Amino acid sequence: MIPSTKKDAKKGTGIQVFARFRPQNSIEDKNKGHEAIKFDKDEKTIAVMTPEKKNESQMYTFDKVFKQNSTQDEVYNLAARPLIEDLFSGYYATVFAYGQTGGGKTYTMEGKPKKDKDAEDLRGVIPRAVEHIFDRIESKSDESTEYTVTVSYVEIYMEKIRDLLDATNTKNNLGIRVDLQRGVYVDGATEIVVNSDLELLKILERGSHKRHVSGTSMNVESSRSHAICMISLAAKNVNDFTIKTGKLFLVDLAGSEMVRKTGATDQRLQEAKQINKSLTSLGIVIKTLTERKLNAHVPYRDSKLTRILQDSLGGTSRASLIIACSPSSFNLAETVSTLRFGTRAKFIKNKPRVHVGYGGTEAEELLRKRDEEISRLKEQIAALTDAADVVNKENQAFRSVYGELPPDAELTEEFKRKPKLPQQFQRAVEYCSILEAEVFAISKEAKLVRHATSEIRQHIVTQRDVFGEARHQMAAAFRAPECTEEMRGKGREVDEILAMARWRSEDVLKSLRPLERASLAIEVAAKDSKTFGGQYHNNNNNNN
């Protein structure tokens, strides 16, 4: 697809932050932990009791606070459902979970499969989002829209991006690229087209089994990597050939760790260092964004995680952050750190935009329609030119008979007081009024034509630049080592289409210039063709 973008009318949309607390676990019970959190009735504010000063507390406020008894459905409906709806409008959206090891991030994002129809639905954000997307597609009865869903799934392990959907298990160090149209993306990640929610969920399940997971003292199945699921939704309108592309990033971050509590050694210790390093980089990025210093450098490139999340943090994506917390005094320091992280994130402002574009064959069809529109405008301008010539000739004939009429300021009082103009002059005045109306109509039509050609010019210039950018990107793709000769052959065919489309865009722009000049000339000529019928018709009415 050859995309273009348009900015959202809503400027500076903030990241929504939700705090979710799990019940106290057996480790916390064993270490004599007690509940150190008090929940406010507004369900948005919490008080953290400080162990040093029992009568004092620290207050934190978020978009919503979920208590220990909150359900997966409640969390999804508030934190993720609105973003899924935005996908169908062409927005990028991100839902990510942050918190300490064992805080409930993976449970919130993935949950547990439903065992039978009567069991409690414990599925997390990801399976619910997948089901939601396909339910929306199936419920839309509009036959003018065709949907395509693709999925990619990667993890960041030890600062290397690994493809979890790669059947060959060779894509273990992928790169990150930035495109003006696509934004930030993982270069070379496997993309699979899916046709149902069950198919997509099976693919994600296979990918999840490849994630790096190991046991620590805090969590028997601790995620040792950041997992990022990317779901793209392309909605093609078969009438005007536009394609709206929404993209959903579902991110399960590895947990922040205190080594003295997790008991990590050797490989687990190295993993913990890399996890904490990337999460520290994430915190620095958020701190920089919220300080709002003029021209401040935001260090997105300090880690792979912050690079991938660049659009989600101060970029063009809508975003929800779920901070997973423990209510126990045993993990109070980690909980406070997590709450502070969420508080800072609230002040990040993103500028979402809609992603709309055209496919290759659709662009050809669009150019064909533009050619037809330009031909129609040429005929319209030719007709307007002929009409303007007729009006000018009639105006000249009138002036040759009656001469130039004096301006209103030079009319004598005696002439104004006459009860009735001579019959011959009266006919001339009426004739001038008719000519004046015709000139006004021609001027108005010429102005409309000029505006139409101007809009077409702007659109063609945009498309020409998009075609050029697409060729540039394709040339870069050809140089990639994984690009086969067969792929290059097919790519050359597409490149020829793009080259032809760009050439035709240039040709169309050349043909628009005389149209714009002609319509402007007609508009000016019509204004200069002054007849005084209306002016003196009014004087005559006043005298009568």
Rg of the chain, C-alpha, whole Å: 34
pLDDT reported for residue 116? 64
pLDDT reported for residue 73? 95
531 assigned ligand-binding residue:
no
Residue 529 has pLDDT above 70, yes or no: no
Please give the C-alpha separations between residue 215 and each of 224, 264, 291, 428, in angstroms, as whole numbers.
Answer: 9, 9, 38, 101
DSSP letters, 52-65, are S-TT-EEEEE-SEE
Among 224-238, 314-328, 364-378, 468-482, the range with the most confident prediction by mean pLDDT is 314-328
71 assigned ligand-binding residue:
no
Range 402-418 average pLDDT:
52
| Assigned token pair, 204 | 């994600």
CA distance 299 to 40: 36
CA distance 531 to 287: 69
pLDDT reported for residue 218? 47
Range 300-326 average pLDDT:
91
More confident residue, 102 or 68: 68
pLDDT reported for residue 190? 92
Residue 122 has pLDDT above 80, yes or no: yes
99 assigned ligand-binding residue:
yes
**Strand spans (E) along 280-351:** 318-325, 349-350
CA atoms within 13 A on the CB side of 425: 13
Q: Please state, for a pLDDT cut of 70, what percent of the chain lies above it.
A: 71
In CATH terms, the superfamily for domain 13-114+142-357 is Kinesin motor domain (3.40.850.10)
Q: What is the pLDDT of residues 258-296, one digit of tens each?
A: 555 545 455 667 777 787 788 888 989 998 888 867 677
Neighbour count for residue 102 (Cβ, 10 Å): 27
Residue 133 has pLDDT above 50, yes or no: yes
Mean pLDDT of the chain: 78
Q: Please state, for a pLDDT cut of 90, what percent of the chain lies above it.
A: 32
User: Is residue 316 within 8 Å of residue 352, measured between CB atoms?
Assistant: yes
pLDDT reported for residue 5? 42
Range 390-406 average pLDDT:
66
Residue 115 has pLDDT above 80, yes or no: no
Which band of pLDDT confidence, cut at 50, 70 and 90, is reported for residue 141?
Answer: low
Classified as helix, coil or strand, 2 is: strand
Cβ neighbors of 513 (< 8 A, separation 6 or more) are none
| Assigned token pair, 48 | 């953290």
pLDDT reported for residue 119? 64
CA distance 515 to 526: 16
Q: What is the pLDDT of residues 4-42, one digit of tens each?
A: 444 443 455 889 999 999 999 998 999 998 999 999 999
33 assigned ligand-binding residue:
no
Please give the C-alpha separations between residue 52 and each of 46, 55, 326, 339, in angstroms, as whole numbers.
Answer: 18, 9, 19, 19
Q: Which residues pair with 146 in a beta bridge?
A: 236
Q: What is the pLDDT of residues 161-170, one digit of tens each?
A: 999 999 888 9
Residue 360 has pLDDT above 70, yes or no: no
Residue type, 34: H
More confident residue, 242 or 432: 242
The owner of tokens 């260092």 is 273
Which band of pLDDT confidence, cut at 50, 70 and 90, is reported for residue 498?
Answer: low
User: Is residue 348 within 8 Å of residue 290, measured between CB atoms?
Assistant: yes
468 assigned ligand-binding residue:
no
306 assigned ligand-binding residue:
no
CA atoms within 13 A on the CB side of 12: 5
pLDDT reported for residue 543? 47
Residue length, the chain? 544
pLDDT reported for residue 427? 62
**Strand spans (E) along 104-241:** 145-157, 160-163, 175-179, 183-187, 192-194, 213-214, 222-223, 226-237
Going by C-alpha positions, the residue among 10, 5, 32, 4 that lies closest to residue 332 is: 32
Q: Which of 299-313, 315-329, 365-379, 383-397 has the lowest mean pLDDT?
A: 365-379
pLDDT reported for residue 7? 45
Residue 246 has pLDDT above 70, yes or no: yes
Cβ neighbors of 482 (< 8 A, separation 6 or more) are 188
Residue 71 has pLDDT above 80, yes or no: yes
User: Is residue 31 within 8 Å of residue 335, measured between CB atoms?
Assistant: no
Specify burial of residue 504 (Cβ count, 10 A radius: 0-12, 13-18, 19+). Answer: buried
The owner of tokens 């008719």 is 434
pLDDT reported for residue 401? 61
pLDDT reported for residue 220? 41
13 assigned ligand-binding residue:
no
Range 407-425 average pLDDT:
51
Residue 248 has pLDDT above 80, yes or no: yes
pLDDT reported for residue 380? 74
Specify burial of residue 336 (Cβ count, 10 A radius: 0-12, 13-18, 19+). Answer: middle
Domain ranges of the chain: 13-114+142-357, 360-543
Residue 343 has pLDDT above 60, yes or no: yes
Cβ neighbors of 5 (< 8 A, separation 6 or more) are 181, 316, 353, 354, 355, 356
pLDDT reported for residue 279? 87
Residue 314 has pLDDT above 70, yes or no: yes
105 assigned ligand-binding residue:
yes
Among 30-44, 47-61, 362-376, 477-491, the range with the most confident prediction by mean pLDDT is 30-44
pLDDT reported for residue 294? 67
